Amino acid sequence: MRPRLFQVGFNRCGTASLHRFLRLNGIASVHHAGGRLAIAMDANLRAGRHVLAGWERFEAFLDMSFLRAHVHVEMYKRWDVLLEQVPEARFILNLRDVDRWVASRLAMGPWTEWRRERPARGFGPPWDAPHPWPVARVPPFRERYRRCHGLAGLDEVVAHWRADWARHVAAVRASVPADRLLAFDIEREPPEALCRFVGLDASAARHWGHENPGPGRLGRALAGWAPRTLTRRVPDSVRRAARHALRRR
């Protein structure tokens, strides 16, 4: 069994690209899962279970986060737990130009959350019922972050992000053993470096590409309007083409 991989950088920093790369190279990868991944890991930790209980079938874990106006779960910051409970774990610190990362987070627009049945209290049930149910109109990422962290305005949000970036990146570099960590700049590093770290042949680099680019104005409007239950039915190749077409419009 290959070592489990954990992405320990921030969202809007190539997490979808990493997920696609791993999946196309035959690695069982899970990416965000609508926030359920982070919620489950956090619940496991609080209940004294293994942090990956219920998710053992996966080999790679990406975008382990969940944000609403009242709660922010950031399991990618719990590498201490992962080091302790997953002895073979290896970590990818995904990086990019900080200014572009901030701009990408600011561009994350609102969207409509859908579930397969009407949610009960808390975070709602699994997606296992036959008919979708619109849960809520979810505000933009920047607004959820502002409310959750009690910040006054956009300037404070951006300052908070920049400070968090510097603090987190330094902590990961200082705490994770160097032989188990890959600091990977998604905008500069060749994908062959990722292949070597993951244990893949150099030919696997052909699957590296820019997935889920930040949308332009038209793209944000359409993404906020379209029900997720509809967009899930669109083939991946069509979705990728649409994202790139709408990126600067």
Q: What is the pLDDT of residues 183-236, one digit of tens each?
A: 999 999 999 999 999 999 999 999 998 866 655 555 545 545 555 444 455 555
Residue 241 sits in the same domain as residue 197:
no
**CATH classification of the domain holding 81:** 3.40.50.300
pLDDT tens digits for 6-54? Answer: 999 999 999 999 999 999 999 999 999 999 999 999 999 999 999 999 9
d(CA 182, CA 107): 27
Residue 162 sits in the same domain as residue 232:
no
pLDDT band at 172 (very low <50, low <70, confident <90, very high): very high
Residue 208 sits in the same domain as residue 219:
no
Q: What is the pLDDT of residue 14?
A: 96
- 45 occurs within a structural domain: yes
d(CA 161, CA 165): 6
C-alpha torsion angle, residues 32, 35, 39, 42 (rounded to 10)? 40
Q: What is the pLDDT of residue 93?
A: 99
Which residue range forms the structural domain that includes residue 225? 214-249
- 132 occurs within a structural domain: no
- 37 occurs within a structural domain: yes
Residue 60 sits in the same domain as residue 73:
yes
Residue 79 sits in the same domain as residue 201:
yes
Instruction: Decide: 157 and 151 in contact? Cβ < 8 Å.
Output: yes
Amino acid identity of residue 62, one-letter, is L
Residue 233 sits in the same domain as residue 243:
yes
d(CA 172, CA 181): 9
- 178 occurs within a structural domain: yes
Residue 159 sits in the same domain as residue 77:
yes
Residue 166 sits in the same domain as residue 226:
no
Q: Domain count of the chain? A: 2
Residue 239 sits in the same domain as residue 155:
no
β 60-62/29-31 pair status: parallel
Q: How far apart are the first and last CA of the chain?
A: 45
What pTM did the predictor assign? 0.79
Residue 83 sits in the same domain as residue 175:
yes
